[in-house]
Amino acid sequence: MTGGRWLVAKLSNLMPLSTDETRLIEGLCTNEQRFDAGATVVEEGAVLQSGFVLTAGMACRYRLLRDGRRQILTFLIPGDFCDLHVFLTKAMDHSIDTIVASRLAWVAREAVVDLVGHHPRISAALWWSAMQEAAMLRERVVAVGRRNARSRVAYLLCELVWRQRAIGMTAGNSIPLPLTQPQLGDTLGLTPVHINRVLQQFRRDGLVRLKQRHLTLLDIDRLMEIAGLDDSYLHLGGAPDYTQRLFDRLDQEQPPPPANSGTG
């Protein structure tokens, strides 16, 4: 029952939700399954019958190259819906592994389609959430395409902290960081060796504290400066009023949803 709260937190940041809507979303997240750290949740090429919501822990999407190297695409934190697209996609074009022991709640394709079809505001919130993911991916392209190692590392550390703040997992500048240096390298297109050197430098410069799998940003302003970010990044604000009105109107047009919308 608590697993859905991160998703609710995320979505209601984007679009205010009624009690009913909140309940529906939490209702999605009841079918939880535990995974060990380092477990493969979904493999490239798989055809999923259900999507899922990460309800605890951390995971990553990644692609393996033929020579065995890999590129991590995004990290999933609690409340991340993966894969919203599953009800359209034929086969996954990437894999998903847990980083630490995690829980995730499976959601039947039909339940998602019904929810999206009958609840415009939820649908909009999910859209928005997908847009944020896309925005983060664009930021990643910019980082990997045009920035040096120092900037990339600074950017990723900031992103990780901000995302956890956005769902209320932390208030300060400090988060658990279960990622290894090889994983950071796979994310940023760098080698573990070089990640290490950059982090050493950051520590010497008093920019971060990082030990025992725990990260603290000591000088956010300089980190953002190094990362080349400005604080508009991530669109973390909610939907503007006119958007909300548009979807409210659609909502009122809706026929009453079937009593049980999950079993289509």
Q: Residue numbers of the site for a second copy (CB under 8 A)?
A: 45, 61, 63, 65-66, 69-71, 73, 85, 87-91, 93-94, 109-110, 113, 117, 120, 124, 127-128, 130-131, 133-135, 137-138, 140-142, 144-147, 188-189, 228, 232-233, 235, 237, 239-240, 242-243, 246-247, 249-250, 253, 255, 264
Question: Is residue 212 involved in binding DNA (CB under 7 A)?
Answer: yes
- Name the H helices within the chain: 5-14, 19-28, 109-118, 120-146, 149-166, 181-188, 192-204, 220-227, 241-253
Amino acid at 201: Q
Cβ(153)–Cβ(199) under 8 Å? yes
244 DSSP β-pair partners: none
Which of 30, 45, 138, 192 forms a contact with DNA (CB under 7 A)?
Answer: 192
The secondary structure of 101-148 as a DSSP string is SEEEEEEEHHHHHHHHHH-HHHHHHHHHHHHHHHHHHHHHHHHHHH--
Which of 1/88 has CB closer to a second copy? 88
Question: Is residue 22 involved in binding DNA (CB under 7 A)?
Answer: no
Which of 46, 113, 169, 199 forms a contact with DNA (CB under 7 A)?
Answer: 199
Applying CB under 7 A, which residues contact DNA? 148-150, 180-182, 185, 189-194, 196-197, 199-200, 212-213
